[in-house]
Amino acid sequence: MQNHITQIATQAKAAFYQLAHAESARKNQALILLADLIGEHENTLLAANVQDMANAQQKGVDNAMLDRLKITSGSLKNMREGLLQIVALPDPVGEMDEFRLRPNGLRIGKMRVPLGVIGMIYEARPNVTVDAAALCLKSGNACILRGGSEAFHSNMALAKLIKQALHDTGLPEHAVCFVEDTDRQHVGDMLQAVDLIDVIIPRGGKSLVERISTESRVPVIKHLDGICHVYIDEFADKNKAIAIAFNAKTSRYGTCNTMETLLIHEKRAAEILPELANLYAEKGVELRGCLKTRDILPNMIAATDEDWDTEYLAPVLAIKIVANIDEAIFHINQHGSHHTDSIVTENYTLANVFLRVVDSASVMVNASTRFADGFEYGLGAEIGISTDKIHVRGPVGLHGLTSQKWVVLGDGQVRG
C-alpha cells in the first residue's frame, strides 16, 4: 500500500544502499559543509525560527517548550561544533573483529554495519534535526526525520541546508529525508512501514514515546523514564556521599539522569541525612521520607508508595532508609526505570555486587548519576538514551546505530 511515507521510505532505502559505497571522507566532507552552511545562513535560520516562536506563543505554548524551540546565535554555534565533533569520531562502519579460524579452514568474524533506514520522531528541539541527520549519515544509515509541528519552519530551513550539503558532496540526497508536512497520519504510517524503516527512535515527552512504542510494528529504540537512585552504603565516605547525593539531585532538575530517590543504609542515616537536608533546603528541594527517615527528620513530608515510582523532574526528592545493600538493590530493580543508579561505598565487594546485580543501563560507583550521557561517556554525541534492554542500553552514539553481521571467508568449503 503506497502512501506518502512508503514513497519517502523507498527513496531512503535506495539511498541507504548507495551510502554503503560512500567512504568516510565523503561523509565527513558533507558534515563539514553543513557546518559551514549553517554559519552562512544564520540569518535565514533565525528568521525561520522567529516565525515558529511567534506561532508557538500565539498558541500559548509553555515556557519550557519555547525554551526548547528557540534558536539563537549561540545554539547555532553549538550545532556547528557538534557537527565537527561527529566528523572527528572514528567511522564505525566496516570495523571487523572476533575473527576465528574454524577447523575446516573457514575464517569467521563480524563486521559492523549500519541498521538501514532510521525513522526519527521528535518534538520541538530543532537541534535534533542536525544531530540526528549527522549521526545517521556518519554511521551509514539513511534517515527519515519527522520533527514537531512547532518547529516546522526551523526544521525546513535546516532541511534545505542538509540537502544542499548532501548534493554538493555527491552523496544521495535521500540519505536524509524529511516529512515535509505536519499531518499526524504520517507518524502512524512510519510506525507501520515494516521492511522499509528498520528502526524508529522517538524523542520527546513520555506520552509520545509510550504511544509510539505501543503502536509501532517497526522495532523501537526508546527512552522512557529516568527514575535514578543514589544508594549511600554502610561503608560510604561521608564527604563523597554528600557531594554525590547533592549533585545528583540539584545540578539540574529536568534531566533524565537526575536522582529521584535517595537510599541510605540505616547505620549512616542519622549521621548524613541532617547535613544533606540542610543543603537541599538551601536549594529549595522538597524532601519526602519513609517512616524511618522521618524519625530522624520529623518535619519531612511522608513519602507514599507512589513516590518510589515517580520521576519528579523537579526539586523534589524521595528518601528511604534501608537495612542493607540487598534491600537497596531490590528497591532499585523494583521501582527504578533501569536508567542509571549509583552506589557510594568504599567497600570493594559491595561495589561489585551493586555493579553486577543492579539491572540498569548505567551502574556507577562513587559518581553522580548526572554523568550518564553520551558526551560524558566519550561517545562524542548521542541520538538518545535507551532504557530498553535489547540492542543498546544507555547513551546511544554511533555504535548504537549499527549492528554486526557475520563475515565468512572461505576457500571453496562446502558442508558435509
Reported residue count of the chain is: 416
Q: What is the β-pairing status of strands 107-114 and 340-344?
A: unpaired
The site that binds a copy of itself (CB under 8 A) totals a number of residues, namely: 71
Q: Spell out the alpha helix ranges (H) of 2-41.
A: 4-19, 24-40
Of the pair 6, 333, the CB lying nearest a copy of itself is at: 333
* Binding status of residue 207 toward a copy of itself by CB under 8 A: no
Q: Name which of residues 33 to 52 contact a copy of itself (CB under 8 A).
A: none
**Closest Cα to residue 319, out of 231, 200, 194?**
231
**Residues linked to residue 287 through DSSP beta bridges, in sequence order:** 317
Among the candidate windows 43-51, 146-154, 304-312, 365-373, which touches a copy of itself by CB under 8 A?
Answer: 365-373
d(CA 189, CA 3): 8
* Binding status of residue 413 toward a copy of itself by CB under 8 A: yes
Among 20, 301, 314, 323, contact with a copy of itself (rule: CB under 8 A): 20
Among the candidate windows 28-36, 147-155, 303-311, 400-408, which touches a copy of itself by CB under 8 A?
Answer: 400-408
**Closest Cα to residue 267, out of 211, 318, 327?**
327
Among 108, 156, 270, 316, contact with a copy of itself (rule: CB under 8 A): 108
* Binding status of residue 395 toward a copy of itself by CB under 8 A: yes
Longest dimension (CA), the chain: 78
Among the candidate windows 28-36, 80-88, 163-171, 371-379, which touches a copy of itself by CB under 8 A?
Answer: 371-379
d(CA 393, CA 381): 15
CB of 360 to a copy of itself, least distance (A): 7
CB of 180 to a copy of itself, least distance (A): 26
Q: Name which of residues 240 to 279 contact a copy of itself (CB under 8 A).
A: 240, 243-244, 246-248, 251
Residue 321, SS3? strand
Among 11, 129, 368, 387, contact with a copy of itself (rule: CB under 8 A): 368
Quick one: CA dihedral 108, 110, 111, 115, positive or negative? positive
Of the pair 20, 301, the CB lying nearest a copy of itself is at: 20
d(CA 67, CA 53): 10
Are the C-beta atoms of residues 297 and 194 closer than 8 Å to each other?
no
Among the candidate windows 26-34, 70-78, 156-164, 405-413, which touches a copy of itself by CB under 8 A?
Answer: 405-413
